[in-house]
Amino acid sequence: MTKKIVVEQTQMVIFEETELSTQKFGTWDDNGDWPDGDLFLLPLADVTPFEGMEIVKGFIVHAYCGNANYSDFCGFSSRDVAYTTSRETAEAIASDEFGTRAAG
């Protein structure tokens, strides 16, 4: 039996490289390295506010195993989650991960 992959729409904060240090230590750590993907994204609810932060519409995918050829995303395989600004990318990640997780 497999888990249903959940995609949740929410407000996200998109970061520029110079803004990464505005968040607590370890925020961007993913198995000792940077998160996967071409963006730095976090849900608004998880962000320590900073001057000039940009809030965008985004999606959380509550299942993520590892890097693949996605765009517009930030993936944390160590946390089993991916964030994206694209519904298509969210659906692709969910589709790719479907069936890879045993029900818990």
- Averages of pLDDT over runs of 10 residues in the chain (104 residues) are 78 97 96 95 97 97 84 94 96 78 44
Q: What is the pLDDT of residue 101?
A: 52
User: Among residues 26, 33, 31, 32, which one has the least CA distance to residue 42?
Assistant: 26
Which residues partner with 67 through β-bridges? none
pLDDT for position 103: 41
Q: For residue 49, what pLDDT is reported?
A: 97
Whole-prediction pTM? 0.88
Q: According to the model, what pLDDT value does residue 23 have?
A: 98
pLDDT at 69: 81
**pLDDT for the residue 88:** 94
In Å, what is the CA distance from 38 to each residue of 68, 85, 104? 11, 11, 30
